[in-house]
Amino acid sequence: MKSADHASEATTTDDVALPAPAEAKTDGPGHPASITTDVLPSDSATELVVPALPTDMLLEMYRMAVTIRLMEEALLAAAEEGQIGGAMHTAIGHEANAIGAAYALRPGDYVTCTYRGHHHGLAWGMNPGRAIAEVMGRSDGFAKGKGGSMHFVSPELGMMGANGIVAAQAPHAAGLALASYLRGEERVAITFFGDGALFQGVMHETFNMAAKWKLPLIFYCENNRYSEMTPIWRTSSIEDIFLFPRAYGMASVQIDGNDVEIVHAAVSEAAERARDGSGPTFIEGITYRLAGHMAGDLETYRPPEEVEKQQAYEPLTVLRRKLGARGISEDQIAEIDEEVDEYIDEAVAFAENSPWPDRSETYLDVFAGSTSSGG
Ligand SMILES: Cc1ncc(C[n+]2csc(CCOP(=O)(O)OP(=O)(O)O)c2C)c(N)n1
Ligand SMILES: [Mg+2]
């Protein structure tokens, strides 16, 4: 741990130990994840077991990862052209956290997330054309263009909303988990938040309540080691933030969030715990944001070499390495890349052709009781 007199020392994320390359951890069924520290507060389990996922599933996950990445890149280009109003945060580099989790959960389960939520939306089943339309404020968007990037939402898919207020999505997810419990349903809620959210009081209120009531809830921290422009060593009193929730008697685990198989294993285990009434789990997925905090970020707070170094560990590189090890050729990978590229071009064209919301609908869907369906 750094002492206070080191607080002004310049440092980079090099100071935080990075997970070793992924294949070292998941080279066979039943292999323990080597970076995973002892996972439970009880003595009942010590290491997360990471089964190898079927190759077909990994291929699907790869297609999803490329879809998210190319959509994000298209959105950044659209923002630069002035096609997007308001702040927009992309999740380039975070994809595996969303994909591994979505594949581990069931239809009907709930997700809430931060303003950095495009990857969750797509992994949860949102159509990219409609997603881009939403970010561009067009009427074919999931919230008819009135939510935009920071209020991505699709209740019919269980995607219960992105949130511009740091940490506000966590108590929302606790409410969803409580509703599931009270109704006797088996639905699990998962809430994604950043490392910076850990230092909001409401996170801790939610930890306590969820642990006390054994809510079917998964807390998933996408630890990209920055809160906006501030590195985590400046904000956290301890290095391993997965230790905080243990104070509330909660199971917690620290994993490589850039590896879909490890994320899938951790969320599967947490979901099992949630569904059998054993209560919430905290997962700290170590990841890295490869693009700026938001569109237009000049990124003066980190050296380009730091970002460059992370390319070796980022989710697409990790997935390509895994698929290569399973005998998938570079040509097969390139074919998927091309198909997705075309798919995203079509999605952008769909969004650009989508009409603006009609002026007469300005105040509809804004306040309760004023929906465009007349409800
Ligand atoms: C309650 C609140 N305080 C401050 C902000 C301004 N703000 C927006 S993003 C952010 C950093 C959050 O960092 P982190 O939780 O690590 O998420 P990341 O952006 O890295 O994904 C802050 C402080 C806010 N949106 N809401
Ligand atoms: Mg962060």
Strand partners, 190: 111, 218
Distance, CA of 183 to chain centre: 27
What's the confidence (pLDDT) of residue 329? 98
- Distance (angstroms) between ligand 1 centre and the Cα of 292 equals 13
pTM above 0.85, yes or no: yes
Q: How many CB atoms lie within 10 A of CB 353?
A: 11
What pLDDT digit, counting tens, does each position of 265-305 carry?
Answer: 999 999 999 999 999 999 999 999 999 999 999 999 999 99
Is residue 344 helix, strand or coil? Answer: helix
Close Cβ partners of 338 (under 8 Å, ≥ 6 residues apart):
none
345 touches ligand 1 (CB under 6 Å): no
- The alpha carbons of the chain give a radius of gyration, in whole angstroms, of 20
Close Cβ partners of 197 (under 8 Å, ≥ 6 residues apart):
114, 166, 167, 170, 203, 221
Q: Are 222 and 94 in contact (CB under 8 A)?
A: yes
Q: How many CB atoms lie within 10 A of CB 247?
A: 13
User: Is the C-alpha dihedral spanning 302, 305, 308, 309 positive or negative?
Assistant: negative
What pLDDT digit, counting tens, does each position of 328-340 carry?
Answer: 999 999 999 999 9
- Residue whose Cα lies nearest atom 25 of ligand 1: it is 165
Share of the chain above pLDDT 70, in %: 86
Q: Are 324 and 107 in contact (CB under 8 A)?
A: no
Q: Give the start-to-end residue ranges of the domains of the chain.
A: 45-345
Classify 45-345 by CATH class. alpha beta
- Distance (angstroms) between ligand 2 centre and the Cα of 198 equals 10
Q: Of 227, 230, 235, which is best to mutate to test ligand 1, by the most ligand atoms within 8 angstroms of its C-beta?
A: 227
Pairing of strands 226-227, 189-194: unpaired
Specify the amino acid at residue 337: D
The mean pLDDT values, 10 residues at a time, for the chain of 375 residues are: 38 46 34 32 53 97 98 98 96 98 98 98 98 98 95 96 97 98 97 97 98 97 95 88 93 93 96 96 95 97 92 95 98 98 98 96 82 51
252 touches ligand 1 (CB under 6 Å): no
149 touches ligand 1 (CB under 6 Å): no
